[in-house]
Structure 1
Amino acid sequence: MCRSIKTLREPYTPEVTPADVDAAALQYVRKISGFRAPAAHNAAAFDAAVAAVAAATRTLLADLVVRR
């Protein structure tokens, strides 16, 4: 779906930074909304969606158990 979003878990990415998570969330919201940057009247909803996706991503990565 979003080719610029990279896998953010080990072993694919040894260290995930907050910037990595935020960039992935932004790309996801851009893709599903169809907007690169929202109009002023949609900015709050867009920003809230990015924050929610980033939070869900952090939770997912923290809870995943990777078996070797």
Structure 2
Amino acid sequence: MCRSIKVLREGAVPLSDEEFRAAALQFVRKISGYRKPSRANEHSFETAVDEIATVSSKLLHSLEYRVLKPR
């Protein structure tokens, strides 16, 4: 996959909806090959971005993070 896709999982730092949407947009652009879809494909493109942003948010909010004890 593309190395330039940003990792969102940092644990302690809460992420905004805009950050999830930006990552989803980058992913959809990569897999679809469209930077900006045609009008005929715009609805499908935007729906995919919204759904991926939602499921990504659910995933990261459900993960458990281990807190390392200082030595």
* TM-score, with length taken from structure 2: 0.83
- In structure 1, runs of 5+ residues without a counterpart are none
Question: Which whole-Å CA distance do the structure 1 matches of 2:3 and 2:25 have between them?
Answer: 13
Structure ID, larger Rg: 2
Give the root-mean-square deviation of aligned CA atoms: 1.5
- In structure 2, runs of 5+ residues without a counterpart are none
AA aligned opposite 1:2: C
Per the alignment, residue 23 of structure 1 pairs with 22
Secondary structure, counterpart of 2:27 in structure 1? helix
For residues 12-53 of structure 1, give each alpha carbon's deviation from its aligned partner in whole angstroms, at most 9, with x where no partner exists: x72311111010000000000000000000001000000110
Per the alignment, residue 33 of structure 1 pairs with 32
Contact 1:10 1:66 in 2 (8 A): no
Question: Which whole-Å CA distance do the structure 2 matches of 1:34 and 1:7 have between them?
Answer: 21
* TM-score, with length taken from structure 1: 0.86
Give the count of matched residue pairs: 67
